Amino acid sequence: MKLTRRQEKFTLNLLAGMTQREAYLQAGYSAKPSMAVIDVNACRLAQNTKVLLRQVELNQKAESDKVAGVEERKRVLTEILRARQTDFMTCSADGVWMHDIGTETLNVAGLKKIRTSTMPFGGKESNLQIILTEVELTDPIKAIAELNKMEHIYEADGVVHNDNRVINIIVATEKAKELTQRIIDGERTD
């Protein structure tokens, strides 16, 4: 599925931040029609399946390995919401023991804070100390909310856009009228 030279240039122009009109004209498409016709043609080209697929491909290439992609962000948020304090400690008859925590630790992204302190135990003459470890987890509700936003769960179905623009198309021949009507009816003419 190869793009023409002008389609490729148009896609690159959009990626560079140009408006559809600018991208269309800079790609070498004719500037002779009215601006309204240019805008319609540019909009149609921007919605072309080949152009859209090429934009996705170019955007994926532009992402750096240093930037977390959607899948990685979802994985981290999932770790946060699945984290439990027992992921980081073991309870036994003689107390609670902390695990060695590293990047491979289960649900480590959910760990917000670990604070360790020592306290004397027994009388003044005792050299015994208790080690207290406080483990705080990241709020899983916030992670769930972020995942829901990424999945567009909060968005209403079907956004309604009121558009009261009128386009008057004047044609000179019966064949042009027929082709124009086919385009208005959504038929492809290419």
- If the chain, 190 residues long, is cut into consecutive pieces of 10 residues, what is the mean pLDDT of each piece? 90 90 92 89 93 86 68 88 81 71 76 84 80 85 89 71 76 88 76
Angstrom distance (rounded) from CA 167 to CA 172: 16
Angstrom distance (rounded) from CA 16 to CA 9: 10
DSSP secondary structure letter of residue 60? H
The phi, psi pair for 2, rounded to 5°, reads -100, 140
The three-state secondary structure class of 158 is coil
Angstrom distance (rounded) from CA 57 to CA 38: 26
φ/ψ bin of 112: left (φ > 0), alpha (ψ from -120 to 50), beta (otherwise): alpha
Provide the whole-model pTM. 0.43
pLDDT in the model for residue 161: 67
Angstrom distance (rounded) from CA 152 to CA 77: 15
Angstrom distance (rounded) from CA 157 to CA 130: 57
pLDDT in the model for residue 173: 93
Q: Closest Cα partner for 19 from 1, 50, 48, 43?
A: 43
Compute CA 85 distance to the chain's CA centroid, rounded to the nearest angstrom. 30
